[in-house]
Amino acid sequence: MRASTFVAQTISDLSQAPTIVVPVIGGHSGVTILPLLSQAQPPLPSTITESEIEALTKRIQFGGDEVVQAKDGAGSATLSMAQAGAHFADLVLKAKNGEKGIISPSYVHLTADVEGGKKVSSEIGKELEYFSVRVQLGVSLF
């Protein structure tokens, strides 16, 4: 959600933030966060320069620090995590109610989906237990 908001700010159209999807893989903070700006939907405008992409990447990676600084060290970026959790819960409820085609980047246990997890691990070149990947949410068949 942070990545989508920062992209919307970069293109000077915050109204677009809810419709922008930026896949983010990796960890929870700093350089472990890897926004895949080249896969953003809709695609980033071709007018965005390489230096703007670098600045945007760093801002996405360290955006939580902006919140802590704004709170003068008296808090954390937990509200951002809560908003993301609420958004994901909303998607899960929509899927449970039968809505189709709901795809969301999600941090998942790869061995929970044996075939899909093996494919992701082989593409990365390492055996991983958890990774952030796009998943399709839906009603369980089991």
Q: Is the dihedral of CA 129, 130, 135, 141 positive or negative?
A: positive
Q: Angle, to 10 degrees, between the axis of helix 2-10 and the axis of helix 50-70?
A: 120
Q: Write down how long the chain is.
A: 142
**CA dihedral of residues 5, 38, 103, 132 (deg, nearest 10):** -90
Active-site residue among 14, 28, 54, 84? 28
Residue 28 bears catalytic tag = yes
Q: Which residues are catalytic?
A: 28
